[in-house]
C-alpha cells in the first residue's frame, strides 16, 4: 500500500502513543528504556503506514547516530513521564494495533531493536540529523502477511447438510508411541 500524507493520523498526538507504550510497560511490570520507546514508536509508525497507507501519529523521526528519534518526545520525556499532562488514550483499532506492536516487539532487548532499525533502508538512506520520510519508512518495513488459509471445500452429508472438509493431515506421533516395542 502506498503512503498518502493527506490522510489524517490515526492518533491525535505522538505523545498519546508514547504514553500508551509507557503505561503498557508499567502494566506488564517492566521498564521501558527511552531508546526502546523511540524504536517502538518508529516501528509502529512504519508498520502502520505500510499496512494502512496513513500515519499512525503526527510525528517526525530524525536519523540520529543511535537510531531514529522523535525530537519533540525526546525533549518532553527527558525527565520521565510527565505527571500533569492530559493525554487521550488510543481506543478501538488504534489501541488494538498498538497492542499488536507491543506483542511483536516489546520482548526484544534494545540492542536487537536497534539492530533491526539500523537495517531499515529508510533510516540508512537518511543523513544523520535529517527527517526520515514516512513514505520511505512504509516501503522499507517488512510487514508479515497473513498465513494462507488451508483449502476448504463444502460438500453435502448423507442428510443433505453442508459440511466443510479439509485435507487430512495426521499429527506427528508422540515419542511414547514411536518407542513402544511391537509384540
Report the number of distinct structural domains present in the chain.
1
Q: Is residue 115 part of a domain?
A: yes
Domain membership of residue 62 (yes or no) is yes
166 lies in some domain: no
pLDDT of amino acid 151 = 60
Mean pLDDT of 5-28: 94
pLDDT band (50, 70, 90) for residue 100: very high
124 grid coordinates: 540508512
Q: What is the pLDDT at residue 157?
A: 80
130 assigned to some structural domain: yes
Predicted local confidence at residue 143, as pLDDT = 56
Domain-embedded: residue 77: yes
Question: Is position 179 within any domain?
Answer: no
Give dist(CA 42, CA 114) in Å, integer. 11
Residue 75 grid coordinates: 525533549
At residue 68's C-alpha, the angle toward residues 62 and 70, to 5°, is: 60
Q: What pTM was computed for the model? A: 0.76
Does a structural domain hold residue 60? Answer: yes
Q: Mean pLDDT check: name the lowest of 12-16, 85-89, 96-100, 120-124.
A: 85-89
Amino acid at each position: 500500500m502506498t503512503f498518502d500524507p493527506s490522510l489524517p493520523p490515526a492518533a491525535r498526538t505522538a505523545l498519546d502513543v508514547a504514553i500508551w507504550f509507557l503505561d503498557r510497560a508499567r502494566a506488564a511490570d517492566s521498564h521501558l528504556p527511552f531508546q526502546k520507546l523511540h524504536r517502538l514508536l518508529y516501528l509502529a509508525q512504519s508498520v502502520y503506514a505500510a499496512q494502512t497507507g496513513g500515519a499512525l501519529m503526527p510525528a517526525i523521526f530524525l536519523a540520529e547516530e543511535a537510531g531514529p528519534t522523535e525530537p519533540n518526545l525526546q525533549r518532553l520525556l527527558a525527565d520521565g513521564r510527565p505527571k500533569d499532562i492530559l493525554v487521550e488514550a488510543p481506543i478501538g483499532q488504534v489501541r488494538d494495533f498498538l497492542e499488536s506492536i507491543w506483542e511483536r516487539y516489546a520482548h526484544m532487548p534494545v540492542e536487537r531493536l536497534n539492530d533491526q532499525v539500523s537495517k531499515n533502508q529508510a533510516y540508512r538512506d537518511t543523513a544523520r540529523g535529517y527527517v526520515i520520510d514516512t513514505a520511505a519508512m512504509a516501503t522499507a518495513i517488512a510487514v508479515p502477511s497473513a498465513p494462507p488459509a488451508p483449502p476448504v471445500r463444502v460438500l453435502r452429508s448423507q442428510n443433505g447438510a453442508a459440511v466443510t472438509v479439509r485435507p487430512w493431515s495426521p499429527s506427528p506421533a508422540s515419542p511414547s508411541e514411536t518407542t513402544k516395542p511391537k509384540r
